[in-house]
Structure 1
C-alpha cells in the first residue's frame, strides 16, 4: 500500500508544505503558475541548506497588502482557471481554517473576516499546496503524520500576544485529532495554514506501521534555527496488509464478586466503549476462588472504563498495561439472503479484509441466525454454515 508520512519535527507552514512536495517530485513550474494566478504574489523556488540538510525553498512575496473575508475568498477561488479538484481541495482547506477562526471568535463563517489568513500569500500557499498534492496523485495514498512540533513561547499578531500554538492552529489540532508537542525551540513553528493543510491531507490516525521508504523530501522554512528548520516527507509502502491500532489492556483481580455482577459488568463496559472484555477464573491468595478481569480499550477510553470497573466490582485498583500496537483487519457489515424451507431470510454478516481488499474472514451474526433458526426450524449451526457459505460466494472478490 502506497504511503506518505508527514514528519513535522520542526513544525509546518504553507510554504514548507509546498516546498517538501516539490522536493518529493511535484511540478515546480505548474505550482508557481497556479500560485501566481490565484493571488497577487511573486513566487521564487530555489534550494537552501538548513543545518546541513539540502531542502527545497519556496518564497512568496505579496504585491498587494490587505486581507479578505472568507465570503470573498471562496468565490475568487471558484473563478480560477484551475482543475476542479484543486479548487475543491483549496475551498475545503479554507473551510477548516474558517471553522476554527469562527469558533474562537464566536461568530459565523458568513461574518468571519480573516486577518493574516486572508492575505494574498496565504491564498497562494493553499492553492500551491493543493496543486502539488494533486500533481503527485497523493489521493490514492495512505497519509500519516508524526507528532507536530508547534514551538514554544508567545507570538504577536493582529489580535495581540498569544501563546504558541496560535489559537486557530490549536483548534485545528484538537478538532482533527492531530498529535502534537511543544518545542523544540522558542517561536511559532506550526502556522494555522500548515495545521489546516495537514488536517486535510492526513487520512490516517494512530500508530504509523512498518514502512519501506522509497523517497525522502525536505521543505525549508524561512527562519534559521538551532535545529534543521524543514518539513520532512517520507514516501514509501506499508509492508503489512493489516491496520495498526493502539490499545491498552486494563486488568484487575477480584475474589468477592458474583457471576451476575460480572455479567452485568461486561455489558456496562462494552456499552462504555470497551473493545473486548474477558473474565478468567483464577485461584487467588489463601486458595480463594476469584476472577481476572481483562478489558481491551483505546487509550482515551481507559480512565472512564477503569472507573467503571472500580464502581461495579469494588476493586481497589486497575492495572493499565500499554500495548505498542495490534494488527487488525478492516471490518464492515453487510447482508446476505438464504432460502430455507422455501422461505427467504436476510442475515447480517461481518466481513474482514486486509488493506489490499483480500477477504480474510466472514462470520454470520449469531442473533440473526438464532432468529432464523427459530422461524425455519433449521438448527442454528446449519443456519450459520449456510449463511457464511453464501456470503463467501458473494464477497470473495477483492474489494476495490
Structure 2
C-alpha cells in the first residue's frame, strides 16, 4: 500500500512542509500560482544547501500586513475557485490552527485574529501545502509521522517569552496526539502552522510499518543550525496489510484485593483510556491466591493508568513493559437493522479490515444484542448470529 512518512527531525513549519512536498514532485508552478492567488505575497522557490543536503526552499515575502478573522480567511479561500479537496483541506487546517489559538488566548473562534502569525504568509503556506498534497495525489495514502523535534529554550512573543514549543503548537500536539520531543538545538523548530499541517495530513499515529522508499523530498527551513534544518518527507510502499500501533503493557501482582474492587478497577481503567484490561488468576508466594492486573495502554496514558492502579489497589509498584508495536485491523463502526417477529431492531457492529480493505471480522455490539434479546424474547446468542450474518452480507 502507498504511504507517506513525515520525518520532522529538525521541526516543521508551513514553508518547510510546502517545500518538502514540492521536492517530492509537486508542480512548482501550480503551487506558486495558488499561493500568490491566495495571499498578498511574493513567492520565490529555489534550491538551497543545508549542511550538505540539497533542499527545496519556499520564501514568502508579505506585501501587506493586517489582521483577519477565521471567517474572512475562510471566505477568501472559498472564493478562489480551487479544486474542492484543496479548499476543504485548507479550511480544515485553518480551523485546527484557529481552535488552538482561541483556546490559548481565551477568546472565541469568531473573535480571533491571526495577527501574531503574519496571516498573509500563513495563508500562502497552508494553500501551498494543500495544493502540493493534492497535486501529488496523496489522498488515500497512509500518512505517518515520526516524533516532531520542537527545539529547546524560549520563543519570543509580543507579550513575553514562552518555553518551546509555542503554546498554540503545543495545544495542537496535545489535541491530535502527535508524538514530539525536545531538541536537538536551541530555538523554536515547530511553528503552529507546521503543527496544524501535520495534524491535518497525518492519519496514522502508530509506528510506521516496514517501508520501501520510492521518493524523498527535503524542505528547507530559514534557520542555520548544527543539524540540517530541513523537513524530510518519504513516499513509498508498506507491505503489511495490518496497522502498526505503538503500545505499552502495564502489570502488577495483587493478593489482597477483593473482587468488587478489581471489577471497579477494570471500569476505572477503561474510562481513563486503557485499551484493554485483563485479570489473570495466579498462585503467589506462600500459596496465596492472587491476580495479575494486565493493562494494554498507549504510551502517553501509562503514567496516569499506573497511578490509578496504585490508588485503587494499594499496590506499591506497576511494571511497564515496552512493546515494539502491535498489529491491528483497521476498525470502523457500522449498523444493521434486523427483523425479529415482525419488529425491526438496530444493532451496532464493529467491522475489521486490513489496509487493502479485505474484511477480517465482524462483531455485533453485545449490549445492543442483549437489549433486543430481552425485548424480543429470544436468546442473545441467536440475536448475535442474526446481526452478524446480516452484517456479513452488507459489509463484505
Normalised TM-score (structure 2): 0.88
Change (3 A) 1:141 1:308: same
Rg comparison, structure with higher value? 1
Please give the alpha-carbon distance, in whole angstroms, between the structure 2 residues aligned to 1:95 and 1:234: 27
Contact 1:218 1:230 in 2 (8 A): yes
Cα deviation, 1:249-280, whole Å, max 9, x if unaligned, reads: 22222223344444444344334443322222
Which structure 1 residue ranges, 5 or more long, are not aligned? none
Which aligned pairs between 1:37-116 and structure 2 lie closer than 5 A?
37-62=37-62, 64-70=63-69, 71-116=71-116
Distance 1:323 1:244 in 2: 11
Q: For the residues of structure 1 that align with 2:194 and 2:387, how far apart are their CA atoms?
A: 50
Partners of 1:19 and 1:56 within 8 A in 2: yes
The answer to whether the 8 Å contact 1:218/1:233 transfers is yes
> What per-residue deviation string (whole Å, max 9, x for no partner) do you get for residues 193-217 of structure 1?
2222222222222322222221111
**C-alpha spacing 1:363/1:160, structure 2 compared with 1 (3 Å):** closer
Aligned partner of 1:164 in structure 2 is 164
CA, structure 1 residues 270+227, in 2 after alignment: closer, same or farther (shift >3 Å)? closer
Name whichever of 335-344 and 356-365 sits farther off: 335-344
Provide the rounded CA distance (Å) in 2 between the counterparts of 1:170 and 1:236. 29
For structure 2, the 5+ residue unaligned runs are none
CA contact (8 A) 1:150 1:183 kept: yes
How many Å apart are 1:7 and its aligned residue? 0.9
CA distance in 1, matches of 2:117, 2:88: 18
The 2-side partners of 1:122 and 1:23 are apart by 20
Q: Calculate the aligned-residue CA RMSD, in Å.
A: 2.8
Aligned ranges 1:143-154 → 2 under 5 Å: 143-154=143-154
- Relative to structure 1, the CA distance from residue 343 to residue 246 in structure 2 (aligned partners, 3 Å threshold; closer, same or farther) is same
2-structure distance, mates of 1:94, 1:344: 43
How far the C-alpha of 1:181 sits from its partner, in A, is 1.9
Q: 1:232 to 1:283 in 2, by over 3 A?
A: same
- 1:185/1:358 CA distance change after superposition, 3 Å: same
Equivalence for 1:211: 211
Which secondary structure state, in structure 2, belongs to the residue aligned with residue 139 of structure 1? Answer: coil
Taking the aligned partners of 2:172 and 2:324, their CA distance within structure 1 comes to 26
* Cα deviation, residue 113, structure 1: 3.0
3-state SS of 1:111 partner: coil
Structure 1 contact 364–387 (Cα < 8 Å) conserved? yes
3-state DSSP of counterpart to 2:216: strand
Counterpart of 2:221 in structure 1 is 221
Kept in 1: contact 2:252–2:319 (CA 8 A) = yes
1:28-81 CA-partner distances (Å, limit 9, x unpaired): 01111122222333222222211221111222233x242222254333333324
Query: What is the alpha-carbon distance in structure 2 between the residues aligned to residue 65 and residue 4 of structure 1?
Result: 35
Q: How many residues align?
A: 395
Alpha carbons 1:115, 1:158 under 8 Å: kept = no
Shift of 1:154: 3.1
Q: Is structure 2 residue 21 aligned with structure 1 residue 21?
A: yes
Deviation at 1:345, TM superposition (A): 5.8
CA deviations 1:266-303 (Å, max 9, x no partner) are 34433444332222222211222322222222333333
Query: Structure 1: how far apart are the matches of 2:225 and 2:245?
Result: 35
Moved more, 13-22 or 90-99: 90-99
Work out whether residues 97 and 192 of structure 2, in 8 Å CA contact, stay in contact via their aligned partners in 1: yes
* 2:347–2:365 CA contact under 8 A, matched in 1: yes
CA offsets per residue over residues 168-224 of structure 1, 9 Å max, x none?
323322332222222211222222222222222222223222222211111112233
